[in-house]
Amino acid sequence: MPRSTIARIDLQALRDNFALAQKLAGSARAMAVVKADGYGHGIRPVALALAEMASKYAVACLEEALAIRDAGLRQPVVLLQGVHEEDDLSGCLAHGFEPVLHSQAQLKWLECCGDRPDFWLKVNSGMNRLGFRPAELPDVMAAIDAMGARPRLLGFVTHFACADDPSSTRTAEQTECFVEGTAAWPELMRSVGNSAAHFLPGQPLFDWSRPGIMLYGGSPSVGKIGPELGLKPVMTLEAPLISTRIVKAGEAVGYGSAWVAEQDTTMGMVAIGYGDGYPRHAGTDTPAAVGGQRIRLIGRVSMDMLAVDLTNAPDARPGDRVELWGETVGVDEVATCAGTISYELMTGITARVPREYR
């Protein structure tokens, strides 16, 4: 029998979260962001589950877009990084892919492209990763007009740096920069809204929003966990309890003897570790659950195992299922304890953890 560590994926919760994203988007339409293998949930089943709700998908790169086509889905797919090679641009038209162009090199590829796809332009409104500065847009648009590509241009996109922090003024500044920079072309569509932007009161989302982490139940907002925002957990990460023992007062557990029992403690070993993608830096006091009862990790996470304090679950026995995150323990809670974000935890679950879909 295979090792029973598993990630259970609730596809109805995924659909419910997408419905919330669309509601919060108001008059904008929401495209489903399914990059990074559907944030670790499996790009094919995630895309299929949203097929009757999402009229557009968004991914990072070409191979992810092709996975959507391989699943038999025909909706347009936005390539958020555009294409990385000139030859890939012409193929976008045949597949219905919409690359986001962000550099002069990509514009040159577009000029040389015989069969041009629909495309977007990335505006650098202050994130300073990719995109054209607003002052560059008149020249960019003139070049697009000169090559006869304007009919294929769908609109402009930008990305927010601080939308996760409602107290920051940066999002409003970026929005103003974006609006002013694109004002000369009101007939073109605009897209600005990452997951966090859906939860900012008064934040315009224009024509298309781009919900990502919120679809999977993770919080995009600082100081909030998913359920506080009305989001449902999609992934429940479980592993079996494989042994229990009494650790005597003064005895240490695990590598580095990082945890020492202050009193006699019932300890359990759980068959999951950083080799499965569980974060190594989730140390003592990181929550878990068994039988619906919250417990805590103790000591260091190993490659294939971790230790838990069973004081709050005295009836737990080997073979019981331990929830590492899911319904009882939020993935955002675990991320906070590990000094990271839920995005990294979900996308980091390795291939040796099977996904079970319902």
Q: For the chain, what is the largest distance between any 2 Cα atoms, rounded to a whole number of angstroms?
A: 78
Q: How many CB atoms are located within 10 Å of the residue 168 CB?
A: 15
Q: How many CB atoms are located within 10 Å of the residue 15 CB?
A: 18
Question: What is the distance between the alpha carbons of residues 86 and 330, in angstroms, rounded to a whole number?
Answer: 43
Pair 221, 164: CB distance under 8 Å: yes
- 255 tagged catalytic: yes
Q: Which of 35, 57, 274, 278 is catalytic?
A: 35
Pair 190, 156: CB distance under 8 Å: yes
Q: How many CB atoms are located within 10 Å of the residue 29 CB?
A: 16
Q: Amino acid letter at 175?
A: T
- 357 tagged catalytic: no
Q: How far is CA 314 from CA 231, 242, 310, in A?
A: 32, 15, 6
Question: What is the distance between the alpha carbons of residues 156 and 181, in angstroms, rounded to a whole number?
Answer: 10
Helical H runs in the chain? 11-25, 35-39, 43-49, 62-70, 87-95, 104-112, 137-146, 170-182, 331-337, 342-348
Q: How many CB atoms are located within 10 Å of the residue 310 CB?
A: 25
Closest CA to 30 of 226, 215, 162, 175: 215
Query: Residues within the annotated binding site for substrate?
Result: 129, 303
Pair 43, 34: CB distance under 8 Å: yes
Contacts of residue 34, defined as CB under 8 A and 6 or more positions apart, other chains included, come to 43, 46, 47, 50, 57, 58, 59, 64, 68
User: 161 in helix, strand or coil?
Assistant: coil
Question: What distance lies between CA 237 and its chain's CA centroid?
Answer: 16
Q: How many CB atoms are located within 10 Å of the residue 66 CB?
A: 15
Q: Which of 23, 39, 255, 357 is catalytic?
A: 255
User: 62-70 and 87-95 are packed helices; what angle lies between their axes, rounded to 10 degrees?
Assistant: 30
Question: What is the distance between the alpha carbons of residues 354 and 108, in angstroms, rounded to a whole number?
Answer: 43
Active site residues: 35, 255
